Amino acid sequence: MKREHIPDQSKAPIYEALQTFRQMRVVPFDVPGHKRGRGNPELTRFLGEQCVSIDVNSMKPLDNLCHPISVIRQAEELAADAFGAAHAFLMVGGTTSSVQTMVLATCKRGDKIIMPRNVHRSVINALVLCGAIPVYVNPEVDHRLGISLGMKREQVAKAIRENPDAVAVLVNNPTYYGICSDLRSIVKMAHDAGMYCLADEAHGTHFYFGENMPVSAMAAGADMAAVSMHKSGGSLTQSSLLLTGPNIQEGHVRKIINLTQTTSGSYLLMSSLDISRRNLALRGKEVFRHVVSMAEYAREEINAIGGYYAFGRELVNGDSIFDFDPTKLSVHTRDIGLAGIEVYDLLRDEYDIQIEFGDIGNILAYLSIGDRYQELERLVSALAEIRRRYQTDGSGLMNQEYIDPEVVTSPQEAFYADKRSVPLEDSVGKVCSEFVMCYPPGIPILAPGERITAEILDYIRYAKAKGCSMTGTEDPEIERINILAEEVR
């Protein structure tokens, strides 16, 4: 996108417009109905007058997210410049909305899309909506850690050779645990085959601003990237960015966004994106240098405890682990005889420490711009005490995080097909018609259209017994599961 002037990253157009609007003392005969908080004093006391007074509706001075022409447009142009994209879209439906827009903008019913199986549920939900067919590149597994890795170059090349009619390749950059694939090579392979390359960068905002980070999607030449500004970028929860490269038509993407995104875009979320982009553009290098330093300190201290393994760049092998996100504080816990979810629960219940998630064998403490050394020291001390108090024999712990699924039918066909509910134990060999997942991280154990196996059921029961938060099924207790009413072979 051509720009007639050099963007001034010290500007925050939406924030500045809201400040001006606040001083105008406009009488509101529009929505929202709380009328700048006057109609809901309890809410105003809770959130503060500063906040509710700018919870306003679209109007000429403040632009319109569905068709931006002034301050929102300017904020998007500044974001595009900061992230090195041809265009950036402010998203108020979370990165789920950004991911689904990427898929819906490039795929239609019957199209194939190449992707790793360890994608977030939002990707498979997008396939339910558009009817595209997943071609899974099943990632290698680190059996010691029990985590899925990145996509190997040869795996992607093989998938492209065997599916020349696929329209896109989707890559996690990085995974929840900080693992990165060789994104530049994958982008080149996709483009050489006439396919788009899409990147789920929900956990990679800092790649655009930090030093010595893994390559960002836009720098690698990807066509679209979904970026969770609210995760490591400091904006409010549910605010996100969708970045596009020069080969993507802006108007088409806007039409796709407007299919599902609200027509009442939150100015709290949009202004938080605007302010956070400015902060990162002006101070991002310094901020993330500090975050990396904290993460390296924490890894060293946790590994000195014994029994834990806080893993990092020593895992890099140049292919399935092409690079590693140095801000990720991922810790393997099985060697002290505890599942990650058990350590997660102990940290919260016994030590008032809330980490991002725990799974079968690992925990993740999410470090970003708001963390300080004193809280890290508290975390390290708590982990040392947990080892001392609760360490046990871990020989009976399950060690596999990833189960290779058999895809029988498309997610859309399975989701909308006639279905019946059966007890878990009666579902072996049947085709699942709903999701089963631990959240976080939200990577499906089962997705619609996949065959249920005894191994998968063992994993589900084990995860439940260890206290994982299981979601996705109609039955909240996950004692029953929906399967296709008619057998599919």
- State how far the Cα of 69 lies from the Cα of 142, in Å rounded to an integer: 49
pLDDT for position 423: 95
What are the residue ranges spanned by the domains of the chain? 13-281, 285-390, 411-484
Query: How is residue 400 written in tokens?
Result: 């596999």
Sheet strands (E) in 345-417: 357-358, 362-366
> pLDDT-based confidence at 464, cuts 50/70/90?
confident
3-state helix, strand, coil in the chain (%, to 5): 40, 15, 40
CATH fold for the domain made of 285-390: Aspartate Aminotransferase, domain 1 (3.90.1150)
* Strand 196-201 versus strand 168-172 pairing type: parallel
**Res 1: pLDDT:** 47
Mean pLDDT of the chain: 93
Where are the strands (E) in 151-295, listed by range? 168-172, 179-180, 196-201, 224-227, 240-244
Mean pLDDT of 448-474: 87
User: Is pLDDT at 127 greater than 90 in this prediction?
Assistant: yes
Contacts of 465 (CB under 8 A, 6+ apart): none
Under DSSP, the state recorded for 63 is B
How much is the average pLDDT of 92-98?
96
* Mean pLDDT confidence for 59-79: 96
Q: How far is CA 317 from the centre of its chain?
A: 24
Q: Which is more confidently placed, 140 or 174?
A: 174
Contacts 24+ apart (CB under 8 A), 285-288: 285/209, 285/210, 285/211, 287/209, 287/369, 288/206, 288/209, 288/210, 288/211, 288/213, 288/327, 288/369
Q: Under DSSP, is residue 240 helix (H, G, I), strand (E, B) or coil?
A: strand
Supply the pTM of this predicted model.
0.93
Averaged pLDDT, 23-44: 88
Mean pLDDT across 54-78: 95
Over pLDDT 90: what percentage of the chain? 79
* Residue 378 pLDDT: 97
Interval 157-171: pLDDT, tens:
999 999 999 999 999
Report the SS3 class of residue 282.
helix
Q: Give 411-484's CATH code, choosing from 3.40.390.10, 3.90.100.10, 3.30.565.10, 1.10.1660.10.
A: 3.90.100.10
* pLDDT the model gives residue 399: 65
In this prediction, residue 463 carries a pLDDT of 82
Q: Is the per-residue pLDDT at 308 higher than 90?
A: yes
Structure tokens given for 438: 């631990």
The CATH classification of domain 13-281, taken from the options 3.40.640.10, 1.10.1240.10, 1.20.1250.20, 3.90.226.10 = 3.40.640.10
Q: What is the pLDDT of residue 400?
A: 61
CB of 62 closer than 8 Å to CB of 17: yes
